[in-house]
């Protein structure tokens, strides 16, 4: 068990470009989550996967955001036509079912849109 891995750790992009982040969860976990954290705030829920099915997408995610989890393994989060307001830390977490313990978070990907 190597924990939750996220890549890249940092990403600087120009406004209007597309970016993609990857998350590799703990292999035994069936649940995968994406959260976003801005400076001085707690993480906010973005989306949730149960195995390969995306079961909820927050209103925080505009149509420019898309997430996938092919075959219930790793997940990707893509942001198209980035805006300065997208600058944040993007966190991935995985877990067993809700009543079987806590979440394990990755180290996050810090996105800066210039």
Interface ranges with other proteins (CB under 8 A) = 31, 33, 40-45, 48, 50, 55-56, 89, 91, 93, 97-99, 101-105, 107-108, 110
In the bound complex, what is the minimum distance in angstroms from residue 49's beta carbon to other proteins? Answer: 9
Which CB, 25 or 108, lies closer to other proteins? 108
In the bound complex, what is the minimum distance in angstroms from residue 82's beta carbon to other proteins? Answer: 20
| 57 Cβ contact list (under 8 Å, min separation 6) | 46, 47, 67
Concatenated DSSP letters of 5-74: EEE-SEEEE-TT--EEEEEE--TT--EEEEEEE-TTS--EEEEEEETTEEEEE-TTS-TTEEEE-GGGS-
Which CB, 44 or 68, lies closer to other proteins? 44
Which CB, 80 or 87, lies closer to other proteins? 87
In the bound complex, what is the minimum distance in angstroms from residue 81's beta carbon to other proteins? Answer: 26
Q: Are strands 104-105 and 31-37 parallel, antiparallel or unpaired?
A: unpaired
């Amino acid at each position: 068990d190597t924990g939750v891995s996220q890549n890249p750790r940092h990403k600087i992009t120009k406004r209007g470009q597309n970016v993609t982040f990857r998350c590799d969860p703990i292999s035994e976990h069936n649940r995968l989550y994406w959260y976003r954290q801005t400076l001085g705030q707690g993480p906010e829920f973005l989306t949730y996967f149960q195995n390969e099915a995306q079961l909820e997408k927050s209103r925080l995610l505009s149509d420019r955001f898309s997430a996938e989890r092919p075959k219930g393994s790793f997940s990707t989060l893509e942001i198209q036509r980035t805006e300065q307001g997208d600058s944040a830390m993007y966190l991935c977490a995985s877990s067993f079912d809700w009543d079987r313990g806590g979440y394990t978070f990755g180290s996050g990907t810090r996105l800066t849109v210039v």
